[in-house]
């Protein structure tokens, strides 16, 4: 194992707070992208950790034979192949909990924006149309009397559910197995839940098992008063099917904070008046992003100083091997 201060590589974009904190404890190496062609022989032999915000391919991971830990900025870690890391004995960490409340707040805000059309109403005022043309049109939808189905009920899903309770709406959820001690109705299939509710909030990880599971069949089941909200991952929703459903009135409206090919948003969704679209800002407050950045660095520090990461992902529950 390389001697001296641990060397951490940072590929591409990273939170400035992470960059500011790393040099106090680590030798830090920066590369423009997670490209193995950018890895020099000296870098390859010396690096024992990666701090990443985004995706790293497995061949970049494999360019470092002494790699011990990958600290991921974000609760979602679909950009890191944790299974591949596990086979190598490399621990992967993420940043759960510190962003739960912020994302849950965003989900509720996006839901209200979508059903009540608040962004469009604000533009009506800002453009002078209230004074010139009169009152903004009544919103055809309301949160009153809705039944909300949560697709996923982890930390953030539970945070959203707690907030929804104060709105006096009915709450249901779809997960592979029901959770004990909850009064919410569980549905074993997504389609079954879609048939029973008129609003779906997506908050599942972006994995192959969830890829485009919100498809034309599910949207058809949701129905003409249906509202879809996505604050999870863009890959979960079939965007072409969603645009078609919105255009044809198969569902009523959609609010999206995430997209399949970010930062690119399909023109078909941009053109629709019954969408509320945000540029992936679910956790984007300064306070929350600072807390996420601190957890990235704190995971690295804990790993090398105590031999155990603070928040390892489920696939890599490892302790550090000492010489």
And the tokens for 56?
């790293």
DSSP 89: T
320 in catalytic set: no
280 in catalytic set: yes
Dist CA 80 CA 202 (whole Å): 21
Dist CA 23 CA 29 (whole Å): 10
Nearest to 214 by CA among 225, 224, 227: 227
**Using an 8 Å Cβ cutoff, are 207 and 185 in contact?**
no
Q: Helices (DSSP H) in 250-321: which residue ranges?
A: 267-270, 286-306
Query: From the candidates 163, 186, 280, 320, which is the catalytic residue?
Result: 280
Dist CA 108 CA 102 (whole Å): 10
262 in catalytic set: yes
Query: From the candidates 122, 133, 165, 262, which is the catalytic residue?
Result: 262
**Using an 8 Å Cβ cutoff, are 310 and 297 in contact?**
no
Dist CA 10 CA 70 (whole Å): 10
**Using an 8 Å Cβ cutoff, are 142 and 163 in contact?**
no
Residue 36 has, within 13 A of its CA and on its CB side, a CA count of 9
**Using an 8 Å Cβ cutoff, are 22 and 10 in contact?**
yes
> Pairing state of beta strands 91-93 and 27-31?
unpaired
Query: From the candidates 233, 239, 260, 289, which is the catalytic residue?
Result: 233
Active site residues: 233, 262, 280
């Amino acid at each position: 194992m390389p001697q001296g201060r641990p060397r951490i590589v940072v590929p591409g974009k990273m939170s400035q707070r992470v960059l500011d904190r790393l040099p106090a404890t680590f030798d830090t190496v920066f590369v423009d992208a997670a490209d193995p062609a950018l890895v020099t022989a000296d870098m390859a032999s010396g690096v024992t950790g990666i701090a990443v915000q985004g995706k790293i391919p497995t061949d970049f991971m494999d360019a470092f034979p002494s790699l011990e830990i990958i600290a991921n900025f974000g609760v979602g870690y679909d950009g890191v192949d944790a299974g591949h890391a596990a086979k190598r004995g490399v621990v992967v960490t993420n940043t759960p909990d510190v962003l739960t409340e912020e994302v849950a707040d965003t989900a509720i805000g996006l839901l209200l924006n979508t059903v009540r059309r608040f962004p469009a109403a604000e533009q009506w005022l800002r453009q002078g149309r209230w004074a010139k043309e009169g009152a903004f049109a009544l919103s055809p939808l309301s949160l009153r009397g809705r039944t909300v189905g949560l697709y996923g009920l982890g930390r953030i899903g539970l945070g959203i559910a707690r907030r929804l309770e104060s709105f006096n709406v009915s709450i249901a959820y779809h997960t592979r197995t029901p959770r004990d001690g909850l009064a919410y109705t569980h549905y074993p299939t997504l389609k079954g839940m879609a048939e029973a509710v008129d609003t779906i909030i997506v908050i599942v990880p972006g994995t192959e098992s969830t890829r485009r599971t919100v498809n034309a069949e599910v949207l058809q089941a949701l129905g003409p008063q249906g509202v879809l909200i996505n604050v999870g991952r863009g890959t979960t929703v079939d965007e072409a099917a969603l645009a078609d459903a919105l255009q044809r009135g198969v569902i009523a409206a959609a609010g999206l904070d995430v997209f399949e090919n970010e930062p690119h948003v399909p023109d078909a969704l941009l053109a629709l008046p019954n969408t509320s679209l945000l540029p992936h800002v679910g956790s984007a407050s300064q306070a929350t992003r600072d807390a996420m950045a601190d957890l990235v660095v704190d995971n690295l520090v804990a790993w090398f100083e105590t031999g155990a990461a603070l928040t390892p992902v489920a696939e890599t529950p490892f302790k550090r091997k000492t010489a």
